[in-house]
Amino acid sequence: MLILQRMAMATSSSSFLSIPLLKTSSFLSPVKHCASPLSSEFRALSLYGGRNGVSTSSAMATDAQVSTQDDKLKDAQMEVTDKPEKVVLPTNESSESLLRIRHTCAHVMAMAVQKLFPDAKVTIGPWIENGFYYDFDMEPLTDKELKRIKKEMDRIIGRNLPLIREEVSRDEAHKRITALNEPYKLEILESIKEDPITIYHIGDEWWDLCAGPHVGKTGNINRKAVELESIAGAYWRGDEKKPMLQRIYGTAWESEDQLKAYLHFKEEAKRRDHRRLGQVLDLFSIQNDAGGGLVFWHPKGAIVRHVMEDLWKKIHIERGYDLLYTPHVAKANLWQISGHLDYYKENMYDQMNVEDELYQLRPMNCPYHILVYKRKPHSYHEFPIRVAELGTVYRYELSGSLHGLFRVRGFTQDDAHIFCLEDQIKDEIRGVLDLTEELLLQFGFNKYEVNLSTRPEKAVGDDDIWVKATSSLRDALDDKGWSYQIDEGGGAFYGPKIDLKIEDALGRKWQCSTIQVDFNLPQRFDITYVDSNSEKKRPIMIHRAVLGSLERFFGVLIEHYAGDFPLWLSPVQAHVLPVTDSQLDYCKEVTNKLKANGIRGELCQGERLPKLIRNSEMQKIPLMAVVGAKEVETGTVTVRSRFGGDLGTMPIDDFVSTIKSAIESKASI
């Protein structure tokens, strides 16, 4: 895609944050989630024992002996068993009082720090999405000192000191800052362009340059709804050549209940962290020996990617796209023509010399698709022309910005480009919206935030085509019936765009899909078609991605499902578990039959049945087929579903057909 927005690690804020206190159920079918692994084993063993004469008490005693093993897998199994609830938390955008509380808390914290550490120099202290932070030039802090700072903050809040706004001249502000020996405040003062200068005092004991807003008195803050969270290093002004500062992060809310809900949200987000689950479930890794930001898809993760790619290709072929495969490198001149070397060079790897010619690892796929378009003349009869590729690109990212699958140096974009006529823009955009909805629904996402970005001040293309393209985007969204926000002037210099963020199980929003109209590259590469009057015209080019990148989308999927993938997407769909080694031959037959029917089944052995069941639960396997002597005799399996509980004993053919039906409909069993 043409100079897409950089992959963002952080999620965007919205008017409210809806926090499910439990993991979501699988897609489509309303399902039950199992409780703890131990209770699951009791139910599975009780079911099997009751039907087959096995003593569950002795089996559980065996489990107790092995329960201290496999701590890595146990760490993944942090299931929540209470009834699901939702707590709606306000945000800075939805609550003016919350924004005032957070801004004031930053000042109260700075005051507390300087009372405890008089030599500390203050810099900036803004409110942020879930709280606030302040940067200090001081000796490194410890967690123990955070507690001291919080205690001092509580004391300041309890004194109910007034927040007093004062306006002073620039000279007066400079004089006061110099008297305090606060060099960073002097630098901040120089960056303030408006006069007069506003100062906020906390009582008559502490002040800072600030435009507000704040609460009236420190007592308006609920000290039980404030918590200091962490300490981090941060360069002044984000410049690594400038001093390293101590940044203290805090969170603040209107009530203690809101703080508790937020802390629960943080714990749930930690439980779902794709980096941890990626290791525990053996899905992917980033190997230091190979370099940072380069993803290794392990067999289980690769299976999920294979399923994702197959679905993506199927939907695109059905909707009239031609699939492409293009090289990972090209002559550097190609990127000069496209403009990437002028506008995007800092995110591109160094060029390589091949037989005295410079080559470049591709940061984007779009120039390649243009070259495919240019391979032959085109007539207006051929439009629209849609091409799509799962194209791997390489972008240079600083090591400090790398973050699991969310910010990497090599990733595969689900990239597509549409070449069309001006009067086809609306229909093509609507088609992309329909495809986007269809694909995202398959993965369980049905809540979106949509933004329409319009022409910026500096732009290429005539006014009339901008108006027509923007109207086409707007009309397509209106036809679709999606609500959206207008981002005035937020479009790219080469055309207007639609950005779509998906909402996950925790209410977080992730930038994935983008649709961009481009007037720039068709001109740069001089691509044309012959119209009905046999004249050469320039086509409209539409860039679009639905998933964004497979790596990042996989990370979102892991966190959305907490690694508990729905049956159709799960890397292993069923475990076949023998009660004893006597049933191994029959279990192999069952496993082979599952595989022959396209079901991802695995035979597990080498442990007692309770341990096999426990391991299956820990690995989040959707289905377990338990096989004992009676199952061998009757040609059946005893089935437990991770989502649906005990399903009883059934013939193998019924088990296979049930799984195939559920996979086809993307439902749970």
Is 543 catalytic? The answer is: yes
> Which is the catalytic residue, given 77, 114, 258, 413?
413
Task: Let me know: does 551 contact 408? Beta carbons within 8 Å.
Answer: yes
In terms of Cβ atoms closer than 10 Å to its own Cβ (0-12, 13-18, 19+), residue 483 is exposed
Alpha-carbon distance 499 to 57, whole Å?
A: 57
| Closest-CA residue to 656 (of 628, 623, 633) | 623
Rounded to the nearest angstrom, the gap between the alpha carbon of residue 482 and the centroid of all alpha carbons in its chain is 22
Alpha-carbon distance 280 to 298, whole Å?
A: 12
The DSSP secondary-structure symbol of 399 reads: G
Is 366 catalytic? The answer is: yes
> Which is the catalytic residue, given 63, 208, 414, 415?
415
Task: Let me know: does 540 contact 472? Beta carbons within 8 Å.
Answer: no
Neighbours of 432 (CB within 10 A): 23
- N- to C-terminal Cα separation, the chain: 39
> For residue 590, which amino acid is it?
V
> Which is the catalytic residue, given 340, 369, 395, 552?
395
For strands 197-202 and 163-168, give the pairing. Answer: antiparallel
623-627: strand order across its sheet: 601-603, 574-578, 623-627, 636-641, 645-651
Is 103 catalytic? The answer is: no
> For residue 468, which amino acid is it?
K
Bridge partners (DSSP) listed for residue 198: 167
Is 497 catalytic? The answer is: yes
Q: Which stretches does DSSP call E strand in 377-530?
A: 385-394, 410-420, 448-453, 485-487, 497-503, 509-518, 529-530
Alpha-carbon distance 577 to 595, whole Å?
A: 15
Alpha-carbon distance 526 to 91, whole Å?
A: 48
Take residue 63 and report the two structure tokens written for it: 């489990």
Is 413 catalytic? The answer is: yes
Is 588 catalytic? The answer is: no
> Which is the catalytic residue, given 417, 501, 614, 640?
417
| Closest-CA residue to 461 (of 437, 488, 496, 426) | 496
Take residue 443 and report the two structure tokens written for it: 């993965």
> Which is the catalytic residue, given 497, 508, 509, 544?
497
Is 264 catalytic? The answer is: no
Alpha-carbon distance 661 to 601, whole Å?
A: 16
Number of alpha carbons in the 13 Å side-chain half-sphere of residue 175: 5
Supply the DSSP string of 174-230, one letter for each residue: HHHHHHHT-HHHHHHHHH--SSSEEEEEETTTEEEE------SBGGGS-GGGEEEEE
Q: Is the peptide bond before 213 cis (omega within 30 degrees of 0)?
A: yes
> Which is the catalytic residue, given 210, 366, 420, 512?
366
> Which is the catalytic residue, given 214, 271, 543, 611?
543
Take residue 631 and report the two structure tokens written for it: 């199952």
Number of alpha carbons in the 13 Å side-chain half-sphere of residue 285: 10
Supply the DSSP string of 226-279, one letter for each residue: EEEEEEEEEEGGG-TTSPEEEEEEEEE-SSHHHHHHHHHHHHHHHHH-HHHHHH
> For residue 251, which amino acid is it?
T
The DSSP secondary-structure symbol of 436 reads: H
> For residue 235, which amino acid is it?
Y
| Closest-CA residue to 320 (of 409, 388, 367, 229) | 388
Alpha-carbon distance 616 to 614, whole Å?
A: 5
Take residue 308 and report the two structure tokens written for it: 């994702």
What positions carry a catalytic annotation?
366, 395, 413, 415, 417, 497, 543
